[in-house]
Amino acid sequence: MGARSRRLYEKAKRLLPGGVDSPVRAFEPYPFFIERGEGSRIRDVDGNQYVDYCLAYGPLILGHQAPTVVEAVKDQLKHGVLFGIPSELELDLAEKITKHVPCAEMVRFVNSGTEATASVVRLARAYTGKENILIFDGCYHGAHDHFLFGKKGPKSPGIPHVLRQNTLVASFNDLTSVEKIARKNELAAIMVEPVMGNLGCIPPTEGFLMGLREICNECGALLIFDEVITCFRLALGGAQEFFNVVPDLATLGKIIGGGFPIGAFVGKAEIMKLVAPAGKVYQAGTFCGHPVTMVAGLATVKTLERKKAIERTSNFARKVADALRRELGLPVNQVASMFQVFFTEGNVSSSDDARKCDKAAFMRFHRALLKNGVFAAPSQFECWFTSAAHANEDFEITKKAIAIASNEIFKATSSKCG
Ligand SMILES: Cc1ncc(COP(=O)(O)O)c(C=O)c1O
Q: For residue 236, what pLDDT is reported? A: 98
Please state, in angstroms and rounded to a whole number, the distance separating the CA atoms of residues 47 and 102. 45
Q: Give the mutation target among 21, 109, 229 for probing the ligand 1 site: most ligand atoms within 8 A of CB.
A: 229
Q: Which residues contact 173 (CB under 8 A, 6 or more apart)?
A: 202, 204, 205, 208, 349, 350
Please state, in angstroms and rounded to a whole number, the distance separating the CA atoms of residues 114 and 106. 19
> What number does the ligand 1 atom closest to the CA of 117 have?
4
Strand-strand pairing, 34-38 and 338-341: unpaired
> What number does the ligand 1 atom closest to the CA of 113 have?
7
> What number does the ligand 1 atom closest to the CA of 193 have?
1
For domain 3-65+308-412, give the CATH superfamily. Answer: Aspartate Aminotransferase, domain 1 (3.90.1150.10)
57 close to ligand 1 (CB < 6 Angstrom) = yes
CA-wise closest residue to 195 among 240, 152, 150, 155 = 240
pLDDT digits (tens, 9 = 90+) for 88-108: 999 999 999 999 999 999 999
Residue ranges per structural domain of the chain: 3-65+308-412, 67-306
Please state, in angstroms and rounded to a whole number, the distance separating the CA atoms of residues 333 and 205. 12
127 close to ligand 1 (CB < 6 Angstrom) = no
- 152 — pLDDT class (breaks 50, 70, 90): confident
56 vs 160: which has the higher pLDDT? 56
Q: Which strands make up the sheet holding 167-170, listed edge to edge? A: 106-110, 263-267, 249-253, 222-226, 187-192, 132-136, 167-170
Q: Which residues contact 200 (CB under 8 A, 6 or more apart)?
A: 333, 340, 342, 348, 354, 357, 380, 381, 382, 383
Task: Name 326's bridge partners.
Answer: none
141 close to ligand 1 (CB < 6 Angstrom) = yes
174 close to ligand 1 (CB < 6 Angstrom) = no
- 418 — pLDDT class (breaks 50, 70, 90): very low
The answer on pLDDT for 402 being more than 80 is yes
375 vs 413: which has the higher pLDDT? 375
The answer on pLDDT for 417 being more than 70 is no
> What number does the ligand 1 atom closest to the CA of 22 have?
9
The answer on pLDDT for 415 being more than 60 is no
- Topology agreement, domain 3-65+308-412 and domain 67-306: no
Give me the active site residues, please. 140, 226, 254
Ligand 1 geometric centre to CA of 308 (Å): 25
pLDDT digits (tens, 9 = 90+) for 317-326: 999 999 999 9
How confident is the model over 125-145, as a mean pLDDT?
96
377 close to ligand 1 (CB < 6 Angstrom) = no
The answer on pLDDT for 207 being more than 50 is yes
Residue nearest ligand 1's atom 9 by CA:
113
198 close to ligand 1 (CB < 6 Angstrom) = yes
Ligand 1 geometric centre to CA of 81 (Å): 25
**CATH 3.40.190.10, domain 67-306, yes or no:** no
pLDDT digits (tens, 9 = 90+) for 281-292: 999 999 999 999
